[in-house]
Structure 1
Amino acid sequence: MSKERIVSSGSTDSPASLYGPASLSLGVVAFLATVLSGYLGIAVPLLAGCLAVTFGVLGLVNGTNRGKCVIGLVGGAVGFLYPVYLMIALSM
């Protein structure tokens, strides 16, 4: 019997493939922190929203996990823009 050697071609994952899940999770955190901003303050949704938007854009440019990137981008945009809107509206 001949023994065939199984050679794996290596992992096709790269660190850039994690932009989608990171954007999605940070977008959800930003959205939930926006809902609870009366208790948490506005720093959490602003920071998580900025990171979610950044990772979402990088993921869309990279082209992997586009659905997760779009959901994270929208959640991050809401998490970032709603507190900014409140600051502008309440300062007038």
Structure 2
Amino acid sequence: MAAPEQADNPASLYGVASSVLGVISLVAAVLADYAGIALPLLCGSLAVTFAVLGLTKRLNRAQCAVGLATGGLGVLYPVFLVATSGG
């Protein structure tokens, strides 16, 4: 059973939000030809932000780590594609 102060705390959802947004950004980054690069950049940056907030509060660290990794990849992949193909 979760501690009462952790169950009612909105900060306990940082891990869930970051992992969901990270997966969305990674899928959207793979489909960037069809969806554009705005969605992966937005969702990825939000995932990284929520993951960092969750890691600093020490809540759901495994989910925050997944959100940080997938959100970071979701942001870096379109940036890498634009950097290599643009010019």
- In 2, Cα distance between the equivalents of 1:34 and 1:83? 6
1:47 aligns with 2:37: no
Counterpart selection for 1:67 from 62, 70, 74: 62
Q: Deviation digits for residues 65-84 of structure 1, max 9, x if unmatched?
A: 00000000000000000111
RMSD of aligned Cα (Å): 1.2
| Higher-helix-fraction structure | 2
- In 1, Cα distance between the equivalents of 2:27 and 2:42? 13
- The TM-score normalised by the length of structure 2 is 0.90
Q: Which runs of 5+ in 1 are unaligned?
A: 1-9
Q: Deviation digits for residues 50-72 of structure 1, max 9, x if unmatched?
A: 00000000000000000000000
Identity %: 52
Which structure has the greater CA radius of gyration? 1
Give the ranges of 4+ consecutive aligned residues of structure 1 lying more than 6 Å apart after TM superposition.
Answer: none
Q: Which runs of 5+ in 2 are unaligned?
A: none
Give runs of aligned pairs for residues 5-44 of structure 1, distance below 5 A: 11-12=4-5, 13=7, 14-44=9-39
Counterpart selection for 1:82 from 74, 77, 81: 77
Q: How many residues align?
A: 83
1:11 to partner: Cα distance = 3.7
- The TM-score normalised by the length of structure 1 is 0.85
- In 2, Cα distance between the equivalents of 1:15 and 1:34? 28
